[in-house]
Amino acid sequence: MPRLTSLEWPEVNGSKAFLERGEYAQQTCSLANVVAKRLLDFLVSHPNYSRLVVHGFSVGGYQFGEVLVKIRKEGGDYSAVVPRFKAQVYDSLVDYQGIPKGFPTALTRNQVLRKVLELMIRLQRLVLYPVSTVHWKASSRAFHDNLLTCPALMINSKRDQVASIEDNLRVANGWRQKGTDVTFCTFDDSKHVQHMGRYPDLYCSEVLRLFRKAQLIA
């Protein structure tokens, strides 16, 4: 059974990486759009991949949001791919709204520096709106208004300083209102995208439970 794994946020170190985020943000949006098109083109040309599972980590939700944006815009053969998705898993999901607070938290423990970085990110969003921010917002809207209605599993942690449980709940409740079955798995002490490594048995158990719910396995 094929599994589609979205992109996760790459590791960064220090302020130099942050100052280079303007160029990085533009490259990320461009790359995400290319990945979305290649993925959809591949699926259209390979109809035998009929039982698909999305497994996204961190801002992998943004990447899949780009896929959803392209499906909505272009329709046609791309729209025919949607029913082939049977389940979706999101690990440490970081939504657009959570980046200004989550990114600085991942970089430093200094509260003053965190606030400065948060303000810089918000300012950068204004300056780079036509270059990158507009794409992030469109992806976030598409992700919140998910075309997929197959069962979903959201995995997070109370100790995760990057991904907000409240943001995850907001997304989940929106999907539930549309009739999507969303399961929450919240750990107490695992860090961002480290839940599977810390709790492999429980993690796999939850994923397998989702697969059974989606009738992917017996």
**What token pair was written down for 50?**
């009929």
Considering the domain delimited by 7-213, tell me its CATH architecture: 3-Layer(aba) Sandwich (3.40)
Look at residue 17 in the predicted model and tell me its pLDDT. 44
Look at residue 93 in the predicted model and tell me its pLDDT. 93
All residue ranges of the chain with pLDDT < 70 are: 1-29, 102-103, 106, 125, 128-133
Look at residue 106 in the predicted model and tell me its pLDDT. 64
Look at residue 2 in the predicted model and tell me its pLDDT. 40
Q: Where are the domains of the chain?
A: 7-213
C-alpha of 27 from chain center: 18
Please provide the size of the chain in residues: 218
pTM over 0.85: no
Give residue-wise pLDDT tens across range 151-194.
999 999 999 988 989 999 999 999 999 999 999 999 999 999 99
Look at residue 100 in the predicted model and tell me its pLDDT. 73
Look at residue 12 in the predicted model and tell me its pLDDT. 37
Query: What is the chain's Cα-based Rg?
Result: 17
Look at residue 201 in the predicted model and tell me its pLDDT. 98
Which are the contacts of 26, defined by CB distance < 8 A and separation ≥ 6?
A: 128, 131, 132
